[in-house]
């Protein structure tokens, strides 16, 4: 029996495969959700991992945790540590290219004490988001905390300091003892050998920073030993502990227009130096002194009758002619000093002061204007240069020496006093005192001889032998009288040298005049020492204002 087999085809896909497909989809979804919820991975490079613990150290922004340190590994060259950090979901936008990271831990520095809350909880990493729109995955840890948050309003400026004290980041900026900002960055420029500072002035105090503002270092305590005496000044307690930078306007001036952002200023060593640098319009002069310039230093004042008009620039002047310094020339023993006359000190409109000075300086020198050295402080030995008129000065004109004009000078101080004493002694030495004394001695001898002859004559007259010796005694008496007449004539001649109008009397008169002038010069000093014995060190005490009496 032939029977045909019936072959029934079955479907290739089995329902049973739905289960693994669903499982794969669910697993994939779970993995996606896990990865999505896990956040974003970044890498942070740091010098060392001091206080950082993998799996424990948190990443925070404004004290809110946004991530966690997952692992710590040494860099391949072992010069740094690479921390793998997981940032939680929804915080990826904080990872801008200019974001800053630093470790928050207990810290004591010039800005104060911070991070005390980490003593129990442990150190954590603070994140400060930047302003960039681009993101990054590799960052570098900062050694110092960021001082200025992006949301703080203010203006940034630049300071340059060549000789000022080196200041740290975080140092305060003060305007009349009120803090208005702080130092944000500090770096040393090896090319210019200057310190470059970036400062941040909080808004609205940036309106106080004008174009004519001056900056100087305020260390809290300043001791100034200058020609004006000893000056001690102190600032606030915070500046006394940490120091700071002060900013203000020059005295007797008002604020100029507000400075733009990134304007650069000079940071001066102190307030006095800051004021010195304001006078940009000046002329240089040489002053040649025929005396010791010990105690005269660059920066010393140049005054005219107590009013400061300039500053000493170089002591001695660094000028060379024919390969030789000017203060070691063979044909000249004077020592040149370079000074500058600052016209802003003479009058507030410095250009007018310059025109007035230049149009009258030659006439003033012809009338006796001379430079001299004056003692400014006996304690420190500092001296300064004073310009004044001397009626007895020899006529001179302003000279041209190489590049700079030369102002004439006169000796002063102990040098001038010693010269007056030497001149007086020289005049006394020139008087014919020896001849006068010899003539007086001869005259007295003649008088003595006359007295002896007279005594013998009286004795002989009392004797009985008068008739026999009268002729002889009369002859001797005649000779004695002749000798006496000659002696009297000589004595009269000697006295005539001391009469009014004689050369000797004129010399004596000049000598007495010199002594009187010297005495008048020393009288104020003697009087001042009697009134205030310490006047050679300290300024004279000002008299108190008198109190009016009541009407009786």
Taking the chain, what is the end-to-end CA distance rounded to the nearest angstrom? 170
Residue 32 has pLDDT above 70, yes or no: yes
Residue 499 has pLDDT above 50, yes or no: yes
Rounded to whole angstroms, the Cα distance separating 481 from 476 reads 9
Q: In sequence order, what are the beta bridge partners of 124?
A: 104
DSSP 468-534: HHHHHHHHHHHHHHHHHHHHHHHHHHHHHTTSTTSHHHHHHHHHHHHHHHHHHHHHHHHHHHHH-TT
Residue 45: pLDDT band (50, 70, 90) is: very high
pLDDT in tens, 347-379: 877 888 889 988 898 889 888 888 888 877 766
User: Which range has highest mean pLDDT (173-182, 220-229, 310-319)?
Assistant: 173-182
Q: What is the pLDDT of residue 198?
A: 92
Residue with tokens 């740094």: 80
Residue 87 has pLDDT above 80, yes or no: yes
Q: What is the pLDDT of residue 177?
A: 84
Q: What is the pLDDT of residue 193?
A: 86
Rounded to whole angstroms, the Cα distance separating 377 from 371 reads 18
Using CA atoms in the order 240, 245, 251, 253, what is the torsion angle rounded to 10 degrees? -150
Q: Which phi and psi (to 5°) does residue 429 adopt?
A: -70, -30
Task: Residue 6: count other Cβ atoms within 10 Å of its Cβ.
Answer: 5
Rounded to whole angstroms, the Cα distance separating 314 from 285 reads 11
3-state SS string for 10-38: CCCCCHHHHHHHHHHHHHHHHHHHHHHHH
Q: Is 175 exposed, middle or buried (0-12, 13-18, 19+ CB in 10 A)?
A: middle
pLDDT in tens, 185-220: 888 888 888 899 999 999 999 999 998 888 998 875
Say if residues 300 and 384 touch (Cβ distance below 8 Å): yes
Q: In sequence order, what are the beta bridge partners of 350?
A: none
Hey, what are 484's tokens?
Answer: 């006496």
Q: Which residue has the higher pLDDT, 280 or 215?
A: 215
Q: What is the DSSP letter of 268?
A: E
User: Which range has highest mean pLDDT (216-225, 271-280, 320-329, 339-348)?
Assistant: 339-348
Residue with tokens 């980490």: 118
Q: Which residue has the higher pLDDT, 425 or 206?
A: 206
């Amino acid at each position: 029996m032939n029977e045909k087999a019936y072959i029934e085809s079955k479907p290739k896909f089995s329902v049973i495969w739905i289960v693994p497909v669903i499982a794969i989809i669910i697993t994939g979804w779970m993995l996606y959700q896990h990865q999505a919820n896990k956040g974003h991975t970044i890498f942070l490079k740091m010098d060392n991992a001091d206080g950082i613990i993998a799996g424990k150290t948190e990443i925070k922004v404004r004290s809110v945790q946004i991530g966690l340190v997952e692992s710590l590994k040494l860099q391949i060259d072992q010069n740094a540590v690479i921390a793998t950090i997981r940032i939680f979901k929804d915080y990826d936008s904080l990872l801008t290219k200019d974001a800053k990271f630093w470790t928050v831990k207990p810290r004591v520095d010039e800005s104060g004490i911070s991070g005390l809350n980490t003593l129990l909880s442990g150190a954590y990493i603070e994140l400060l988001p930047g302003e960039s729109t681009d993101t990054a995955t590799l960052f570098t840890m900062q050694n110092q905390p960021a001082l200025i948050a992006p949301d703080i309003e203010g203006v940034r400026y630049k300071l340059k300091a060549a000789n000022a004290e080196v200041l740290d980041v975080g140092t305060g900026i003060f305007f009349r003892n009120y803090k208005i900002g702080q130092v944000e960055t500090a770096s040393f420029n090896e090319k210019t050998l200057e310190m470059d500072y970036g400062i941040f002035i909080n808004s609205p105090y940036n309106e106080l920073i004008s174009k004519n503002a001056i900056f100087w270092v305020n260390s809290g305590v300043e001791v100034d030993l200058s020609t004006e005496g000893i000056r001690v000044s102190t600032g606030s307690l915070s500046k006394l502990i940490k120091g700071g930078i002060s900013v203000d306007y020059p005295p007797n001036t008002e604020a100029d227009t507000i400075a733009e952002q990134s304007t650069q200023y000079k940071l001066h060593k102190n307030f006095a130096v800051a004021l010195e640098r304001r006078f940009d319009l000046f002329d240089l002069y040489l002053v040649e002194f025929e005396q010791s310039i010990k105690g005269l230093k660059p920066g010393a004042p140049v005054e005219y009758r107590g009013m400061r008009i300039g500053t000493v620039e170089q002591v001695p002047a660094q000028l060379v002619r024919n390969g030789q310094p000017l203060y070691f020339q063979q044909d000249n023993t004077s020592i040149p000093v370079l000074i500058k006359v600052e016209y802003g000190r003479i009058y507030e409109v410095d250009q007018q002061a310059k025109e007035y000075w230049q149009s009258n300086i030659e006439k003033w020198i012809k009338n006796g204007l001379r430079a001299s050295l004056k003692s400014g402080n006996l304690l420190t030995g500092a001296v300064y240069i004073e310009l004044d008129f001397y009626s007895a000065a020899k006529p001179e004109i302003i000279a041209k020496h190489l590049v700079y004009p030369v102002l004439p000078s006169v000796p002063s101080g102990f040098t001038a006093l010693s010269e007056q004493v030497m001149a007086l002694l020289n005049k006394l030495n020139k008087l014919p005192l020896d001849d006068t004394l010899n003539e007086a001695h001869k005259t007295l001898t003649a008088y003595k001889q006359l007295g002896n002859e007279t005594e013998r004559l009286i004795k002989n007259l009392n004797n009985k032998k008068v008739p026999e010796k009268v002729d002889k005694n009369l002859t001797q008496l005649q000779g004695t009288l002749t000798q006496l007449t000659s002696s009297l004539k000589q004595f009269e001649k000697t006295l005539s040298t001391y009469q009014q109008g004689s050369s000797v009397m004129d010399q004596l008169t000049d000598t007495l005049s010199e002594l009187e002038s010297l005495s008048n010069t020393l009288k104020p000093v003697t009087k001042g020492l009697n009134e205030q014995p310490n006047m050679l060190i300290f300024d004279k005490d000002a008299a108190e204002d008198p109190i009016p009496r009541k009407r009786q």
